[in-house]
A and B are shown apart, each in its own frame.
Chain A
Amino acid sequence: MTTRRNLVLGAAAAPLLGRLAVAQSAAVPAGEPLRIGWLAALTGASSAPAVGFNRGVVFAADELNAAGGVQGRKVEIITRDTQGDPTKAVNATQELISRAKVHAIWGPTNSGEALATTPIMARAKMPCVHPCVVDSLIDPVKFPNAFRMAPSNGQWDDAVRAYLLNTLEVRDVAVFGDTTGYGTSAVAASVAAFAKDSANVVNQSLIDATQPDVTPDMLRAKTAGARAIVVWSVSVGMLSRLMNVRNALGWDVPIVGHPSLGSGEIRGLLEKPGNWEKVFMVGYRSCSFGEDGKLPERSQAFVAKLAGKVALHDTSLWWVACGYDAVKLIAAAVESSGASTSEAIIGAWNHTTAYPGIFGDYSYSPENHNGYPQADVVMSRANSQRDGTFALAPGFA
């Protein structure tokens, strides 16, 4: 009875959570760890992000435990390798909820998996934070338990469009994507948004990631009068081919779009290093350096803290920072509410204003579960990677 009363109170009285902390913590069995489920695609295709996220997750948990845990409770990360497979992610989610009895879940970290797991977590009222970009994954009415701690695809799209229209002052664009579900939907959304801003999408094309020669697509865009290429794809093969063909055609237009434009894999696929010039990708202010070569102060301090403990040379700082923030965000909710029930954690997140993470300042309300600030989504030079960080694109200070 006491436990049920506490659950109800935790859900209903978010503003009073701090004061209820003592009463509620009494419901937590002594010594029970705070269990955080971590749905990580650590192996298989596209495992690079999860490997980076994992470094931040482990570092944050170690840091919390070294400081005595969360309200005296040890933080326990329960990792399940989903291999990027939605079916495995669904099974792992169910296992984490019903058998491992985790208090909150971080992940999955790609949209394909999240589309499958989000309804399951919603049914179980499992507090969940994830960095997946597909807009429909966040809906406070359908999925009141799900919170996003990275930009949505719409935010990426807004950043790219604003850069082209306002900074580069280009209004005639070609929009390319790959033939995956992501590429198809991203191109459609991007074209619609450009049209709304009265820009001219002179050409749009969906390209198979294995298409060996993209000359036809680039020539059609050039003939149509495009003055910039917008790309939505994670296929580094396709992205590098676009850059090579642009150079072969002697066509001096910017290529702007998905963060994968800065993937280190691209370097080896370019016919000339110069083909990577004038390519701008979505980036994050916290993980970008300016002309002075310095990161923002908070990021700089974080990198210094990681030095010698966490490798950054083969990953992206934002992955590490976001993984770190995820664990800290869950811990902060338990800390402020004094409980680890679903209602307490979700209630605490719903009243979060500018939580100072490393990756960004997160804000959530009952009506808004997209927590990443638009102002922190910037554009970066794609060929400027240095220890997982990128240089700001021209026009950003």
Chain B
Amino acid sequence: MLASIIASGLALGAVYALIGITYNVMFAASRVMSFTAGQLGMLGGVFGALFVGRLGVPGPVGLVLTLAACAAVGVLTEIIAVRPVLASLEKHLYVLSTLAAALLIQQLTAIEWSTEPQPFPRLLGLGSGILDEKFWLPVLACAAVIGGLEWMYRRTLVGRAFIAIAEDNFAARALGLPERRLRMASFALAGAVAGLAGFSSGQLLLAFFANGAMLNFYGFVPVALGGLGNNRGAVLGGLALGLFQQAANFTVGGVFASVLVFTVFIVVLLAAPQGLFGAPAVRRV
């Protein structure tokens, strides 16, 4: 039982962490919490099942196409739901616009894809039982993403430009950084990260339009636990959430497990409002 809790807990935790990173990447470039993150994750599973399962595209090509498609939807989100409300961030209109975009994505998927879960093809055919690829692929994807993002932010010019935009939008623009293009690029990156989450967990979550709302919800928890904008915190928060949720599922069952998870979540936030791994915001005056 313990092995099963760890296997599925880590897998789900990795997916939640990736969605949390998606929230963070979009937030860093725009100061907007885009509630399309979970829907982009859902699309990763749907596009993967479409390309690899239905159209018979080889797995690696299917992955590239899925990431590209999700990146495109990410950019579209920026154009449709984020850019128009950036001028009045203090009114929090982005909550409405990104939720509307999320609903649009969900309904379109339900109409064009299916209202029932669809199978996701086996990708590598490796492992069985608790070592099945459906459990370790999301963990591998999460490790690859966090490693890749760390490398990009620390070692590349583009990564440093992203950080500059996130740190001080106005100063970055004054220095001549193309803020709009960088913001679009970060939404594309966020789309690709969420797409990878959906693709790597497709065998576990299936290609199901209703996964979007679930991922939106549980993917937000690591962000709150780990501290907004803190990717490493999101990973730790996500994995902790996945393990705790599965342990609660085993001990008290599905519905009560959700209650337990959110009780603990609220208690943690009451104790540490900035998140377990976040620091209180400090501004030089």
Chain A residues in contact with chain B, CB under 8 A?
A: 44-47, 179, 205-213, 215-217, 219-220, 236-237, 240, 248, 263, 265, 268-269
Supposing A45-B110, A209-B210, A212-B12 touch, asked if A237 and B117 sit within 8 A by C-beta, the answer is yes
Q: Which of B119, B211, B213, B254 contacts A179 (CB 8 A)?
A: B254
- Whether a CB of chain A sits under 8 angstroms from the CB of B66 is no
Q: Which of B110, B201, B206 contacts A237 (CB 8 A)?
A: B206
Q: Which of B110, B119, B129 contacts A268 (CB 8 A)?
A: B119
Contact present for B258 and A213 (CB under 8 Å): no
Q: Which residue of B lies closest to A238 (CB)?
A: B117
By a CB distance below 8 angstroms, the chain A residues around B119 are 268-269
By a CB distance below 8 angstroms, the chain B residues around A217 are 249, 253-254
Contact present for B117 and A216 (CB under 8 Å): no
Supposing A179-B254, A236-B117 touch, asked if A219 and B4 sit within 8 A by C-beta, the answer is yes
Kindly state the separation between the CA atoms of A211 and B250 in the bound complex, as whole angstroms: 13
Contact present for A45 and B115 (CB under 8 Å): yes
Kindly state the separation between the CA atoms of A251 and B210 in the bound complex, as whole angstroms: 29
Kindly state the separation between the CA atoms of A358 and B253 in the bound complex, as whole angstroms: 43
Contact present for A219 and B205 (CB under 8 Å): no
Contact present for B205 and A236 (CB under 8 Å): no
Kindly state the separation between the CA atoms of A240 and B118 in the bound complex, as whole angstroms: 11
Kindly state the separation between the CA atoms of A8 and B246 in the bound complex, as whole angstroms: 64
Return A336 CB to nearest CB of chain B, in Å: 40
- Whether a CB of chain A sits under 8 angstroms from the CB of B188 is no
Supposing A268-B119, A269-B119 touch, asked if A212 and B254 sit within 8 A by C-beta, the answer is no
Contact present for B115 and A213 (CB under 8 Å): no
Q: Which of A46, A210, A216, A220 contacts B246 (CB 8 A)?
A: A216
Kindly state the separation between the CA atoms of A240 and B119 in the bound complex, as whole angstroms: 10
Contact present for A44 and B115 (CB under 8 Å): yes
Which residues of chain B from 125 to 149 have a CB within 8 Å of any chain A CB? Answer: 129
- Whether a CB of chain A sits under 8 angstroms from the CB of B150 is no
- Whether a CB of chain A sits under 8 angstroms from the CB of B214 is yes
Contact present for B1 and A219 (CB under 8 Å): yes
Supposing A237-B116, A265-B116 touch, asked if A208 and B254 sit within 8 A by C-beta, the answer is yes
Contact present for A269 and B250 (CB under 8 Å): no
Knowing that A44-B111, A208-B258 touch, tell me 19 more A-B residue pairs with CB under 8 angstroms: A44-B110, A45-B110, A47-B115, A205-B253, A207-B254, A208-B214, A208-B255, A210-B205, A210-B208, A211-B249, A211-B254, A213-B8, A216-B246, A216-B254, A217-B249, A240-B117, A268-B118, A269-B117, A269-B206
- Whether a CB of chain A sits under 8 angstroms from the CB of B204 is yes
By a CB distance below 8 angstroms, the chain B residues around A211 are 249, 254
Q: Closest 4 A-B residue pairs measured CB to CB?
A: A237-B117, A216-B249, A45-B115, A216-B250
Contact with A along B202-238 (1 / 0, CB 8 A): 0011101011011000000000000000000000000
By a CB distance below 8 angstroms, the chain B residues around A208 are 214, 254-255, 258
List 10 A-B pairs, Cβ < 8 Å: A45-B115, A206-B254, A208-B258, A211-B254, A212-B204, A216-B253, A237-B117, A269-B117, A269-B118, A269-B119
Q: Which residue of A lies closest to B110 (CB)?
A: A45
By a CB distance below 8 angstroms, the chain A residues around B205 are 210, 212
Contact present for B8 and A215 (CB under 8 Å): yes
Contact present for B255 and A220 (CB under 8 Å): no
Return A215 CB to nearest CB of chain B, in Å: 5
Q: Which residue of A lies closest to B12 (CB)?
A: A212
Contact with A along B167-210 (1 / 0, CB 8 A): 00000000000000000000000000000000001001110101
Contact present for B255 and A179 (CB under 8 Å): yes
